[in-house]
Amino acid sequence: MMSMSDNPKLSGLSFYLGALCVLLVTVFLGILLGNTLTSSGHSDISTKAAIDLFLGALLVLLGIRNAFFKENKNNGALTKYLQIDSNVSTFAKFRRFFSIGLLTFLINFSTAIFVLAGREIGLAQAGILIDLGAIVVLALITLIVVEVLLIFFLILPNTAKRITEPLDQWISAHSNYVMAVFCLAIGFLVIFNRVSLLGML
């Protein structure tokens, strides 16, 4: 998206903030789940394992779907959507790219994995400062790809644009396989850990 935009710094920052909002909401829901499990007395291993196995299976199914069914993405429509009149306000541009980041994370079912991270924060009952620190670290790690590219565009904009254009083409052609590997790896890892914890292996 940054390579296609005439203002990569603004588009990258806007996208980042939109994605960050969805991430924080997802983690917050996980924290509520963890607090609810603790307060209701259902923070036992079997309950946590059941939730993890469900989400792990969901990620595995999503990975299989991505591996065998490539989504039809209309790159022409996306390119047109990213082409904003240079005369519009900065806020209008910000809103456009923010909405892309928001929707990208919102419709991606793999975002559900962060419910587990939030749940562990909620179950830990470590205090507000430690919880906030954990959320910040989680956000930094989760969005590190966007953060690195954004810093790259801020420091070396011309070099970044030259490098990311072919990268964009590769990602467009192989994004379903990249997502499939990610979902399958995380899904199987979550399932394996919980099955091992229950002593079923």
CB of 147 within 8 A of CB of 16?
yes
106-113 long-range contacts (CB < 8 A, ≥24 apart) are 106/22, 109/58, 109/59, 109/62, 110/59, 110/62, 110/179, 110/182, 110/183, 110/186, 111/22, 111/23, 111/26, 112/26, 112/55, 112/58, 112/59, 113/55, 113/59, 113/186, 113/190
Task: Confirm whether pTM is higher than 0.75.
Answer: no
- Per-residue pLDDT reduced to its tens digit, 39-85: 777 667 777 778 788 888 888 888 888 788 765 555 555 556 656 66
pLDDT over 90 at 20, yes or no: yes
